[in-house]
Amino acid sequence: MENKINYYKKSQQILDEIKKCPAKPTLLLHACCGPCSTFPLKFLCPHFKVTIFFNNSNIYPLDEYNRRLEELKKFLTYFERDYGHHVDLIVTPYDNENYMKDLEPYKNQPEGQTRCFICYEKRMDQAFKYADENGFDYFTTVMTISRQKNSQKLNEIGIKLSNKYKNTKYFLSDFKKNKGIDEAREMRIHYDLYQQLYCGCKYTYENCLIKYKK
């Protein structure tokens, strides 16, 4: 069995170094929805000046995309009120048709395989590029909060991209660890955030329709 790297421990080691800095570094955070942003923002904002990058053309249909974006905006308002951290939000144009072209050859795969790894990397690459071109000190993604997403793979992709975009460092993470997943759940319930029933793409949407019609 492959040895799994403890990315939660790695994130703590980075934070230990950052605590020695006189000013907060900037961090661009890829986020896919409100519920997945809850605990990562609570974890990161005491140490970084965080900006969220919402580039999620994987989400289908458009109504669902808009709903997830609106929930995220609602949460950012609550988060500033209750935690005292203002978080800027950058939203890229929605283009599901073009986005899906790279994923289509893998449409019959179950969740968690090649299609998803391509999907992680497409969004992380675009966000990391933006961070690099716009002078952010760090980049990371909220996706390691999810039990359905492969944190080992997400961090491997982040490390690979940090060799491509050299002005910005990748912040290693596994937000779900050390009860992060429980805190995210509690925050989602506390703020009454909409919890989607499927990951995002039309393949998972169609499976969800079949499942809930039964």
* CA–CA dist 53, 106 (Å, integer): 26
Using the minimum distance from each CB to ligand SF4, give the nearer residue, 103 or 193: 103
Site track 26-65 with ligand SF4 (rule: CB under 6 A), x = hit: --------------------------------x-------
Q: Per-residue DSSP letters for 7-51?
A: HHHHHHHHHHHHTTSSSPPEEEEE---HHHHHHHHHHHTTTSEEE
- To ligand SF4, the closest distance from the beta carbon of 105 in angstroms equals 12
Q: How many residues in total does the chain contain? A: 214
* CA–CA dist 17, 183 (Å, integer): 25
End-to-end CA distance of the chain: 37
Using the minimum distance from each CB to ligand SF4, give the nearer residue, 65 or 203: 203
For ligand SF4, the binding residues in 187-206 under the rule CB under 6 A are 199-201, 203-204
- To ligand SF4, the closest distance from the beta carbon of 180 in angstroms equals 19
Report if residue 183 touches ligand SF4, rule: CB under 6 A: no
Report if residue 115 touches ligand SF4, rule: CB under 6 A: yes
- To ligand SF4, the closest distance from the beta carbon of 154 in angstroms equals 10
- To ligand SF4, the closest distance from the beta carbon of 94 in angstroms equals 14
Q: Which residues in this chain contact ligand SF4 in the complex, by CB under 6 A?
A: 58, 103, 111, 115-116, 119, 199-201, 203-204
